[in-house]
Structure 1
Amino acid sequence: MFYMGNERDDKRRIRLAESKDGRKWTVDPDYVVEPGSEEGSDVSGGNLWEWQGELYVIYHASNGKSYARTIDKTLRNVGSKPILLHKASGSGDDVGRVAAPEIVNFGGQQLLFYESGDRLGATIAWAKTG
């Protein structure tokens, strides 16, 4: 399970916890994703995504955009460069913050579901490839 850790320094990072039974969890001592200069001060909403034979951890950042980083099969070694996954287009309802990315394969298409808008007034939005 990827999850957001709000640490003692009040910075949010993505952590990994593992369980064999869904009740007892072991938290990896290292962070999976720490925010870099592009993302701002915090990252959250981590999910695993497989695309074209590669694994990625996808997440959103405090700058209002969603990102992907490559990750190996052990889920321990993550790429250092964030890849922009989605940012608001600025048209129609697709404005402001983009958060909590979740990608679903349906009917041969990749669909991205995400929170759109400010944190307490967000709606669920979606985008598709192509």
Structure 2
Amino acid sequence: MARSTDGVNFSDETPILRTRLVPGTSYARVFEHALPGRGNKYVMVFMGVRNGRRLFYGWSPNGWDSWQFSPTPLVNPEPDGPTDISGPTLVKRNGTAYVAYHGNDGRMRITKVGNAFQQEVHLGVFHSPIASDNGRVAAPAFGNQDGVDYMFHEAGQRLHARICIARAV
């Protein structure tokens, strides 16, 4: 965890998630999202290694401390086909919650998890690489400006990727 008063300079502080809780944790992202009955304001979605790479989650009342983590995966790779999934991001649409992520086959998928993270409804691939993506698109992140939705993501082989942007039409 790191803090900043100006959004440019950050100070590294106490780790929140450690591999002793869930082995192989990475790709952690925090979002404002209350889970019913948990007294939280924030959730964290992240990759963890337990019988392959899966997506897990945690929750906190303030996003800084008092984090709790579910030992049960939020999203499993088997219904999608790949053996590993990672790079999760929380997506809210149509009054419910989804998790978008990438698989080791180079494609991005989306799964409906519901507002209480009580579902796992795999909806399939929503973005596949094009020729210039060198077989891989990954780590989606979404934003909106002036009513237009955008997706930022990696394209290309890991450690040699470029950052791309897609605009909803």
TM (norm. structure 1) is: 0.86
Larger-gyration structure (1/2): 2
**Partner residue of 1:113?**
152
Deviations 1:67-122 (A, max 9, x none): 1111211123221x2321211122xx333211101111112111111011000101
**Partner residue of 1:3?**
46
In structure 1, runs of 5+ residues without a counterpart are none
Extract structure 1 runs of 4+ deviating beyond 6 A: none
**Partner residue of 1:57?**
99
Q: Structure 2 vs 1, CA of residues 97 and 20 (structure 1 numbering), >3 Å: closer, same or farther?
A: same
In structure 2, runs of 5+ residues without a counterpart are 1-43
Higher relative contact order (CA 8 A, sep 6+): 1
1:38 deviation in Å? 3.5
1:37 deviation in Å? 5.1
Report the secondary structure of 2:98's partner residue.
strand
**Partner residue of 2:33?**
none
- RMSD of aligned C-alpha atoms? 1.6
Tell me how many residue pairs correspond in the alignment.
Answer: 125
Q: Aligned partners of 1:106 and 1:52: how far apart in 2?
A: 18
% identical aligned pairs: 30
Report the secondary structure of 2:105's partner residue.
coil
